[in-house]
Chain A
Amino acid sequence: MEKHKKGHITKDINNKGIDSKDSANREEAEVFKLYMVIVHHGLGSKVIQIAKESGIPGGTVILGKGTAQNPILKFLALADYRKEIVMVLGKVDHGKVFLQNVSEKLKFHKPNSGIAFSVPVSNIIGSKYCAGAKPPENTNGGERMEMYQSIFVIVDRGSAKEVVDAANESGAKGATVINARGSGIHETSKLFAFEIEPEKEIVMILVKREISEKVTRAIKEKSSIDEAGKGIMFVQPVDEVYGIQD
């Protein structure tokens, strides 16, 4: 029953994105991107809300710090301010709407109000919404082959250990864990006016392209990412890598 309902939602979203086109078009590769939005502290949840309104099921927020370019403030050690970094995985057509809405609603045309950008993603595992994900044309079609890939795994807080262990056992040289919060399609409860965004951990692993498959498979098996609600994993191409010793 529940499963059925979920499938329905996914279909809805698919339809909304490309409602004017026929079903044959849907078979085509759907290009996904990772959207990064950096805003002032406290606006992260709002960005996720906008993402949800734009058809993207969820996002993840990381706390960060920024520094103002003001010498007087720097001297007084008052130049730091708090930031939130929002990571959102979305289809390109949803993403366009999302970026437009974000920059409109959060007034990105004014200086110092925020930054948004997108980066290519080559593989996504663990999300129904992203089930049709295929590598974007421009990085895949070209002859250029990157040496390394970075694997991002977003799981519930406390589960990062398993992911790190799985990665290390399957040949990765190490992993970095970032604390975050976020909500996906399974987590949409509210407490008064607040959306509850449960705590997450983001595991970042840089691996050689050859073993990338092996590592993602190991993680998938160990933390059962492809089950609903267990987390999400995506792979990104990486150009230049320093500091990894073979």
Chain B
Amino acid sequence: MNIFNEKLKEVFFAILPITLIVMILRLSIIPIDNHLMGMFLLGAVFVLFGLTFFLIGVDLGIAPLGSLLSSVITKKNKLWLVVVAAFTLGFIISIAEPGLLILGNQIDVLTSGVISSFTILAVVSLGIGIFMILGFLRMIYNIPLHIILLGSYGVIFVLGIFTSPEFLAIAFDSSGSTTGVLAVPFILSLSLGITAMKKDSKASEKDSFGLVAIVSVGAVISVMILSLFTEVQEFAEVEMAEAHIGGSIFGSFINAIPGAFLESIIVFIPLVAIFLLVRFTWPIKKEVLRKMTLGFIYSLMGLSLFLVGVNTGFMAVGSEIGAYLVGLDTYFYLILIGFILGVATILAEPAVYVLTHQIEDVTSGYVKKNIVLGALALGVGMAISLSLLRVVVEEIQLWHYLLAGYGIAMGLTFITPKLFVGIAFDAGGVATGPMTATFILAFINGAAYNHPTADVLVDGFGMIAMVALMPIITLQILGTIFKLKTVKKGVEGNGKT
């Protein structure tokens, strides 16, 4: 089985659940018209091939570039170089992130231009750059991840007291939208490049994860600080972005290709620039170079196809399902189906595969892919259900969830094995990819828009924050179970784990 077949098979089984669930829903309770269904199925085919090529490209091009880059930087053994390089990497990766651009535009509209999208883009990128430095220094100086996270979330907690509920949702959502589909694999591989050089294998393993987590925190903190310095009294009404429906099925896909391709190219620009820089300043073997170049081409192609499939095929169906379910007499179906959709969508999230593969590689298969996927899916499913509960029950505020959730997450860091602390907090950033940000967001917004007491702004947002939060808890619980189960039997005086 070569890499292509292996990945195709993996991706096929990843998007099969979501496809089946939508089909079952259509046959059972929700009337989805044929046109929309056709769009969805064709979208699934685009996602299948898009994701396959994207993941192959990440393996061949993006991940090797990341680890090469960080090992080159660290080997120079100059602190200023690490600081400058880490900041630059963080800054340029996030400034090209389409998720951040969308977030910036939303805030621009919401605050009627008081905070321009440019300000958001600049401030968040600055914050991410600074936290990238923190993340690099942590790995080099062996600072435990949970200490940094405790400190950062402490700061967030204090800032949160002074932040308005609207901004709280936006700030926590921003953590998900900045760690985008391309940024995550790249950031993950950056940490591998450094930790692979460590002689202490235990420390190396622990430090292989956590960089995504630290970077996500940077985004949250910068949006919060920004909101403190700007006096925003009124929030404008948001318009629901109606999915573009109409025209022939194939026609709408073909129309979507240029836009998706352009978006992909914008995301790729900083990475290609870094690639060229490394290529001309560091000797790379010809064969490796060829592989990396092909990897970049595959992942660009794959990402474009994936975005076409998701934006054109998936969003409209998601919104339709949400709108229909919220209109039913009982909210039980809404919350149940929300859970199922959450579980199924996360399986099709690209960065999740990059993370699970990396976990398998780092632990030589001790922590298996499927078991991480299971915990992650459970977490995301619960996140969606809880978000829907918030849409239909007026009294529940986002900060209730966040305070309780992060309280639990922080408490768990003390008992969870440190490897899993890193994996769990990284998974929070990883779970919020393009699939959640489109399909599930459309689903929740569809529900919020059609619910009489719900406010799309306050209730619709915050879902990404929940998706980033719940996996942290479920994966840490998984880690604790692993710790309990990995005890040797029949050995006296066994102190180590």
Contacts and interface: CB of A to CB of B under 8 A. Distances in A.
B488 interface: yes
B490 A228 contact: yes
B76 interface: no
B481 interface: yes
A175 to B, nearest CB: 12
A161 B200 contact: yes
Nearest to B199: A161
Secondary structure at the A interface, as helix, strand, loop or mixed, is: mixed
A179 B367 CA distance: 13
Interface string A68-91: 101001001111111010000000
Interface string A93-113: 000000000000000000000
A193 B155 CA distance: 41
A63 interface: yes
8 tightest CB-CB pairs across the interface, nearest first? A229-B491, A158-B202, A186-B488, A189-B485, A181-B364, A199-B366, A77-B294, A181-B366
Contact of A70 (B2, B490, B492, B496): B2
30 contacts: A3-B492, A41-B6, A44-B365, A45-B365, A63-B361, A63-B364, A70-B2, A73-B4, A76-B294, A77-B60, A77-B294, A82-B3, A82-B6, A84-B365, A160-B201, A161-B200, A161-B201, A179-B201, A180-B364, A181-B366, A187-B486, A188-B489, A194-B368, A194-B371, A197-B365, A198-B366, A198-B486, A199-B205, A229-B488, A229-B490
Contacts of B492: 2-3, 228
A199 B482 CA distance: 12
A24 interface: no
B485 A78 contact: no
Contact of A80 (B3, B199, B371): B3
A172 interface: no
Contacts of A45: 365
A192 B486 CA distance: 14
Contact of A61 (B1, B200, B365): B365
A196 B1 contact: no
Contacts of A227: 491
Contacts of B164: none
Given A68-B2, A77-B290, A201 B201 contact: yes
Interface in A156-197: 156-158, 160-161, 177, 179-181, 185-192, 194, 196-197
Nearest to B487: A189
Contact of A158 (B201, B485, B489): B201
B364 A196 contact: no
Contacts of A189: 485-487, 489
B146 interface: no
Contacts of A229: 488, 490-491, 494
Nearest to B363: A199
Contacts of A190: 485
A6 interface: yes
Contact of B371 (A158, A180, A191): A191
B291 interface: yes
Given A3-B492, A70-B2, A157-B202, 5 more contacts: A81-B1, A160-B201, A189-B486, A198-B486, A229-B491
A144 interface: no
Task: Name, among A73, A76, A200, the residue most crowded by chain B CB atoms within 10 Å (CB to CB).
Answer: A76
A5 interface: yes
A201 B199 CA distance: 12
B295 interface: yes
B184 to A, nearest CB: 21
A186 B491 contact: yes
B366 to A, nearest CB: 4
Given A80-B2, A81-B2, A196 B60 contact: no
A177 B371 contact: no
Contacts of A188: 489
Interface string B165-196: 00000000000000000000000000000000
A40 interface: yes
A117 B488 CA distance: 30
Contacts of B491: 2, 186, 227-229
A189 B291 CA distance: 41
Nearest to B293: A77
Contacts of B364: 61-63, 179-181, 199-200
A192 B291 CA distance: 39
B56 interface: yes
Contacts of A228: 490-492
Interface in A227-246: 227-229
Interface string A209-231: 00000000000000000011100
